[in-house]
Structure 1
């Protein structure tokens, strides 16, 4: 067993002469120094793991201990995985294990387990990854009075897209923004996801909510209405805003899906209600905005026909820019929110795979 040296350090603190005097008060600090260094240490082989929705992910975590005798793993070693929230003040329990006793929590129940490739392997395996699994995870190893931690990020392949509802721009508070993304088969994007999208060329001149409660927007082509033409490209930041009273757009994030996204071949153009029924008759649901963006970005879906989506908007995805479709860029074209009862368009459907 390592020996500890106990040092009592005494210092005399003298206050500023213009302030209240504490010259007669002694402050004692006790410092514990481990003679041979820490006995328990955690090693993270990677700081980031990339997966996608519906896939699996292994978050690495190994620990090492120094023994005076024996090498067997202690049955009293406690392994705890938690997910860190955006403000780092709250942690979400994922799984706790001690010996043969293991317990997973919340949405992770039944989807997570420890890899245990060796008696010092505490790596976390997440199956059927969801959009909400994105983020930072902490591996904590505890044995007696000793403990150590490591942090790893689970990143997801996917796409960030800006969104505003039928009622127009700057109409969503934070809670409404979260729900709006969920309604479009997505989640509210993080700053890191928006930053990566900006580096990939995303340019949007309307401010939107992010998952940390901040409001920001990405500019690749500086211009007067978007912070000024003489400014540098970047992610413009409004800072943290009032989640109840603030009204903005939102940036959503989505990833791979298990299903088929397609344009329904139909003999006539359709009103919105007719479009919904046409997809149902074909064994599907009318597609959501997030599903169109995922099909366009991750699968290269290309169709030069405007079609209804579930939110009542009309859009079409272009992967191969060409005249009359999208001559200058590959993008998801937004037609608008037409009159549902009188305007006629095609429809995009989505069929889920079990």
Structure 2
């Protein structure tokens, strides 16, 4: 005689659950969920037959340091919903070169929270239903990168990306102790000290298109070593090699040493040549700028003033790193080559007497 074994409890529970599905409106080719946050009090259930869309009308945004920028993002539903939904909007940032995705802002309804270096510099525009555009203020050099707008509604999760790029000027830099003395991390530091950041390949390529020609190889932000040539010549790849951006590829960031290509953007304030009754040494130059309510200008600030403010002066002056330079926008006799640029005399002995360029953060 065979004895029937009692059915396992798990099987019984599963059968009970399946018997309830028709009452909930279940269909074999869809799943359902109940969104408590968006519930209307009537036990409303939303199916995935309603599709969430997220898009950006402007995938590339170009701006200047210190300015504001709006990164567009809009979401909508198909078919259109009869009542608004409370969604979670999240903006995150991925640097152009390496690094991890970083939270910028999270918003759920009226509650908004910003993070890290973006704190108090970002908010949502929200001009119309479905507008999740990110408004950024006081843009910084390191804000360049790819931004992701993610909209989450229950189990639905859609996103769009916007690339932010700062317009600026690229300049080659080598320290006082000479050519090819910088590791990758040294290059990062010296650019930062000169009110700039390591240039990306895209920024160097654009500078090359605008005429930058430099035969010394320098670090870029991605860890490659490259240099731009507009006039082919023997020491710079050979006469037979077409103009372009020459590349050494990726180099060891701790062992290999080169120069640096730095990137600076527009600046708030003003760089000016300080009129003095007599020339000054480097220590005196720092002091006279301070006495004038300013500070001695950095190399990146001089380049930005030349590029964006049209600074033109045929007098060499001290800069913060101990170099002597002067900016020319209107080439003329006795002011260097017959093309615009920032001229450099290199690093003079600090006791020598010269003029000085100052930087004032306020309006002058």
CA distance in 2 between partners of 1:40 and 1:348 (Å): 56
2:193 matched to 1:193? no
- Contact 1:73–1:120 (CA under 8 A) maintained in structure 2: no
- The structure 2 residue matched to 1:270, chosen from 253, 277, 280, is 280
The corresponding residue for 1:171 is 181
Which residue matches 2:244? 234
Query: What is the CA–CA distance in structure 2 between the aligned matches of 1:277 and 1:136, rounded to whole Å?
Result: 42
Give 1:73's aligned residue. 84
Tell me which of 25, 35, 48 is aligned to 2:60. 48
1:90 aligns with 2:134: no
Residue 348 of structure 1 pairs with residue 360 of structure 2? no
What CA distance in whole angstroms lies between the structure 2 residues aligned with 1:157 and 1:44?
21
> TM-score of the superposition, structure 1-length normalised?
0.86
Does the aligned pair in 1 maintain the 2:96–2:144 contact within 8 Å?
no
- Pick closer, same or farther for the CA change 1:230–1:72 going to 2, 3 Å: farther
Q: 1:66 to 1:223 in 2, by over 3 A?
A: same
Distance in 1 separating the partners of 2:82 and 2:226: 52
Indicate the SS of the match to 2:70: strand
1:204 CA drift (Å): 1.0
Q: Cα deviations across residues 39-90 of structure 1 (Å, max 9, x unaligned)?
A: 12211101211221111000001112124x7333321x22111111235662
For 1:94 and 1:35, how far apart are their aligned partners in 2? 29
1:170 and 1:73, CA in 2 relative to 1: closer, same or farther beyond 3 A? farther
Q: Which residue of 1 aligns with 2:76?
A: 64
Counterpart among 140, 152, 169 of residue 162 in structure 2: 152
Counterpart in 2 of 1:103?
A: 113
Report if the CA contact (8 A) 1:296-1:318 is conserved: yes
CA distance in 2, matches of 1:4, 1:43: 31
Q: Secondary structure at the match of 1:292?
A: helix
Check conservation: 2:105, 2:113, Cα contact below 8 A: yes
Structure-1 separation of matches of 2:217 and 2:82: 57
- 8 A contact 1:54–1:257 mirrored in 2: yes
Q: How does 1:248-287 map to 2 (within 5 A)?
A: 248-287=258-297
Structure 1 or 2: larger strand share? Answer: 1
| 197-206 or 77-86: bigger deviation | 77-86
Q: Secondary structure at the match of 1:206?
A: coil
- Give 3-state SS (helix, strand or coil) of 1:172's partner: coil
Residue aligning to 1:20: none
Q: Counterpart of 2:96 in 1: which secondary structure?
A: coil
Quickly say closer, same or farther: Cα 1:4–1:165, change in 2 above 3 A: farther
TM-aligned CA deviation for residue 327 of structure 1:
3.7
Structure 1 range deviating more: 259-268 or 138-147: 138-147
Structure 1 residues 223 and 142: alpha-carbon distance in aligned structure 2, compared to 1, 3 A threshold: same
2:73/2:160 contact within 8 Å kept: yes
- Residues 320 and 148 of structure 1: CA distance in aligned 2, closer, same or farther (over 3 Å): same
Given the superposition, is the C-alpha separation of residues 123 and 3 from structure 1 closer, same or farther in structure 2, using an over 3 Å criterion?
farther
Structure of higher CA gyration radius: 2
Instruction: String of CA shifts for 1:306-351, please: whole Å, max 9, x gaps.
Output: 100000000011111111102421110000101102x211111111
Q: Does 1:224 align with 2:234?
A: yes
Structure 2 unaligned residues grouped into runs of 5+ = 1-24, 31-46
Q: Structure 1: which 4+ aligned runs deviate by more than 6 Å?
A: 1-4
Question: How many residue pairs were aligned?
Answer: 323
The CA RMSD over aligned residues, in Å, is 2.1
**Pairwise CA distance, 1:287:** 0.6
In the alignment, what sits opposite 1:315? 325
5+ residue gaps in structure 1? 7-33
Q: Does 1:328 align with 2:355?
A: no
- Please give the alpha-carbon distance, in whole angstroms, between the structure 2 residues aligned to 1:74 and 1:124: 19
- State the alpha-carbon separation in 2 of the partners of residues 184 and 148 from structure 1: 41
The one of 98, 119, 124 aligned to 1:114 = 124
- DSSP-derived class of the 1:95 partner: strand
